[in-house]
Each structure stands twice: as C-alpha cells, then as structure tokens.
C-alpha cells in the first residue's frame, strides 16, 4: 500500500474542505505506518477510531455547507456519506476482531473508498459553493 499524496484531482476548490481532506489523508498515512511498523493492535484500532470520528465530523461539515448554499445534490451526497461511514465502521470492527494479516486489505478498502469519494462526488460541489461566496 502506497502513501497517499496530493494530486490535482484531490482538490475540491473549497479551502476548509481541502484542509480536512488533507488531515484525513495524513491520518490514513499514520495508520498505514503504524501497521507497517508492527504497532500493536490497540494503537492501530485507536488510530482507526480517530480516523472514523474525524470522517464523521468532516461529512457533517460538508453537509452543513451544502445546506447553507442550497446544493441540489445534498440528498444523494448524504446517502453516500452514510454508506461510506457504514463501510468504515464494518472495517474497524473487522480489524478489531480479525487477525492482524487481515488489517492491511481492510485499510486498502478504506483508502480506495475514500479516494473514490473525494475524486468523485466531492468534485461536484466546489463550483456551486464558489459561486455562492464559499471558497
């Protein structure tokens, strides 16, 4: 699993959201380093829980901005956030219960799910918000 780095597609054009995406990627990298470095299960599951909590806060921030600017794609975007959070929680539970060898594929699925979200649905709200004074 490779380290996550910024690329153009990961910029959504709303500063506060770009900053939060950066923090989320840093947290995933931290988790990856903990796994590769052979850190104990407690540390790894603690980092995973922190990542999930921050993800929940981030999704809330995005939805609040969408509400504030009347973004028409809010209902679909919110369901996608809920789907991702369910996936994250299931992965965390799997990581807590499963063998250590199973945690890397779990982390890969988190990373892929999250990147696909930032590069997909998250790309749609920037221009709408920019046009309404949020940048």
Q: Which residue number places its CB atom closest to Fe ion?
A: 122
Name the residue nearer to Fe ion (CB basis): 5 or 38: 5
**Dist. CA 15–CA 42, nearest whole Å:** 33
Q: What is the dihedral of CA 76, 80, 85, 91, to 10 degrees?
A: 160
Name the residue nearer to Fe ion (CB basis): 39 or 52: 52
Count the site residues for Fe ion by CB under 5 A: 2
Q: Which of residues 94-133 bind Fe ion (CB under 5 A)?
A: 122
Q: What angle do CA 9, 11, 13 make, to 5 degrees?
A: 130
CB of 77 to Fe ion, least distance (A): 6
The residues of the shown chain that bind Fe ion, judged by CB under 5 A, are 62, 122
């Amino acid at each position: 699993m490779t380290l996550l780095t910024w690329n153009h597609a990961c910029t959504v054009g709303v500063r506060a959201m770009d900053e939060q995406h950066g923090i989320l990627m840093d947290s995933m990298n931290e988790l990856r380093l903990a796994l590769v470095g052979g850190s104990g299960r407690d540390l790894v599951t603690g980092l995973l829980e922190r990542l999930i909590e921050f993800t929940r806060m981030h999704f809330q921030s995005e939805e609040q901005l969408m509400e504030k600017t009347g973004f028409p794609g809010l209902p679909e975007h919110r369901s996608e956030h809920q789907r991702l959070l369910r996936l994250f929680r299931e992965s965390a539970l799997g990581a807590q219960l499963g063998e250590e060898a199973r945690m890397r594929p779990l982390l890969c699925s988190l990373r892929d799910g999250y990147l696909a979200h930032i590069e997909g649905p998250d790309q749609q709200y920037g221009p709408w918000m920019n046009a309404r004074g949020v940048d």
